């Protein structure tokens, strides 16, 4: 069975937004509040420290990096899941080309997938990007971050939460 995380959650969010509009609430709302942290990535002699926003609720994981026009070089969005799975990601309303690193429960990088900005980020179509193995965490960064810094499968991560 193929489980795709974002379309299902987005459908729920669209229904909730429609209900809010019907109730007289504004149609747009501010982005959700993300946790924050410092993530250190190491492999062999290479080490990079970066700041991350942490998406660990259904609401924050659904919103992700939507509507951002840029992302600092040493920054990213860390998605945290309660269990290992093969959730798919898509680029709806995402304006930045991204690389996504899928990370196992021991904080080891399994694989990296590049994700392209769709021709129409708002209306789609939006390809689903899926890993080849189950993972616990996913890190979205500017496309090419892993390659530029020499990180591949086996790289290790250490998270320190700051908020």
pLDDT tens digits for 82-106? 999 999 999 999 999 999 999 999 9
Which residues, in sequence order, are bridge partners of residue 147? Answer: none
Neighbours of 40 (CB within 10 A): 13
Q: Is 123 helix (H, G, I), strand (E, B) or coil?
A: coil
Number of separate domains in the chain? 1
pLDDT tens digits for 25-78? 344 678 899 999 999 999 999 999 999 999 999 999 999 999 999 999 999 999
pTM: 0.83
DSSP 105-134: TTSBEEEEEEEPPPSSTTT---PPB--SS-
Residue-averaged pLDDT of the chain: 86
Which structural domain range is residue 141 located in? 5-161
- Both tokens of residue 137? 């965490």
Percent of the chain with pLDDT over 90: 80
Q: Diameter of the chain by CA atoms?
A: 56
Task: Please tell me which residue, 163 or 132, carries the higher pLDDT value.
Answer: 132
- Both tokens of residue 147? 């390659």
CA atoms within 13 A on the CB side of 10: 15
Specify whether the CB–CB gap between 52 and 75 falls below 8 A.
yes
CATH number of the domain encompassing residue 122 = 2.60.120.1140
Please state the length of the chain: 163
Specify whether the CB–CB gap between 56 and 77 falls below 8 A.
no
């Amino acid at each position: 069975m193929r489980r795709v995380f974002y379309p299902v959650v987005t459908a729920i969010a669209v229904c909730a937004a429609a209900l809010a509009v019907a109730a007289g609430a504004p149609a747009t709302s501010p982005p959700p509040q993300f946790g924050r942290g410092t993530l250190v990535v190491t492999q062999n002699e290479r080490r990079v420290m970066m700041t991350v926003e942490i998406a660990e609720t259904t609401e924050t994981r659904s919103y992700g990096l939507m509507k951002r026009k840029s992302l600092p070089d040493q920054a990213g969005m860390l998605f945290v899941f309660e269990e290992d799975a093969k959730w798919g990601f898509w680029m709806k309303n995402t304006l930045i080309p991204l690389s996504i690193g899928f990370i196992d429960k021991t904080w080891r990088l399994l694989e990296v997938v590049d994700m392209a900005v769709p021709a129409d980020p708002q209306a789609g179509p939006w390809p689903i990007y899926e890993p080849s193995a189950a993972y616990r965490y996913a890190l979205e960064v500017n496309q090419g971050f892993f390659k530029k810094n020499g990180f591949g499968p086996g790289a290790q991560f250490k998270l320190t939460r700051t908020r």
